[in-house]
């Protein structure tokens, strides 16, 4: 069975920037085929991604977050844990779980940086949608060949 629904999880930390990934995703996949879920931050994405994938309702689950160095913890450790969790959710469920997570080494809350990263999230959202569609096409070909 081919699914035409997609889940899109977005972290609310820096939502003004992260939400742009959904904009890019919707450039290739119609909004009425996407169920959108908000979580507080990146760390909460893997578990929800796994739960959504297990429902069997989605062709893919895309997850967007912006993990920056706030001076309290090493953001690269958090980012690594999140990406590992997303990969494991996909591997454990057989549903593609795609990461649209950015972890800049140098981010300052300036108009300049916000504009750069907002535009980058739009592009990464497009890339995730393209990956989701491509994986779906490949899986359909494999099913037809079987």
Tokens describing residue 102: 């950015």
- Active-site residue identified among 20, 74, 126, 139: 74
pTM metric for this prediction: 0.91
Say which CATH topology domain 6-145 has.
Rossmann fold (3.40.50)
Question: DSSP 3-state assignment of 71?
Answer: coil
Tokens describing residue 126: 């497009």
What stretches of 2-83 adopt beta strand conformation (E)? Answer: 6-11, 34-39, 60-66
Q: Per DSSP, what are the bridge partners of residue 36?
A: 8
Q: Where are the domains of the chain?
A: 6-145
> Does the annotation mark 88 as catalytic?
no
With residue 45 as reference, give the H or E element that holds it: helix 45-54
Write out the chain's pLDDT in tens, 146 residues: 456 899 999 999 888 999 999 999 999 999 999 999 999 998 899 999 999 999 999 999 999 998 776 655 666 677 788 889 999 999 999 999 999 987 666 666 667 667 777 888 999 999 999 999 999 999 989 988 87
Q: What whole-number distance in Å separates Cα of residue 144 and Cα of residue 121? A: 34
């Amino acid at each position: 069975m081919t699914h035409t629904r997609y889940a899109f999880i977005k972290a609310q930390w820096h939502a003004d920037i992260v939400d742009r990934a959904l904009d890019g995703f919707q450039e290739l996949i119609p909004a009425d085929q996407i169920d959108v879920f908000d979580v507080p931050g990146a760390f909460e994405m893997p578990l929800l991604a796994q739960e959504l994938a297990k429902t069997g309702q989605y062709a893919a689950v895309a997850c967007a977050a912006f993990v920056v160095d706030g001076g309290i913890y090493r953001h690269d450790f958090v980012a690594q844990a999140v990406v590992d969790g997303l990969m494991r959710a996909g591997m454990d469920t057989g549903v593609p779980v795609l990461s649209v997570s950015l972890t800049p080494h140098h981010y300052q809350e300036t108009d300049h940086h916000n504009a750069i990263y907002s535009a980058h999230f739009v592009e990464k959202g497009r890339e995730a949608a393209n990956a989701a569609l491509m994986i779906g096409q490949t899986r359909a070909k494999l099913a037809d060949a079987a």
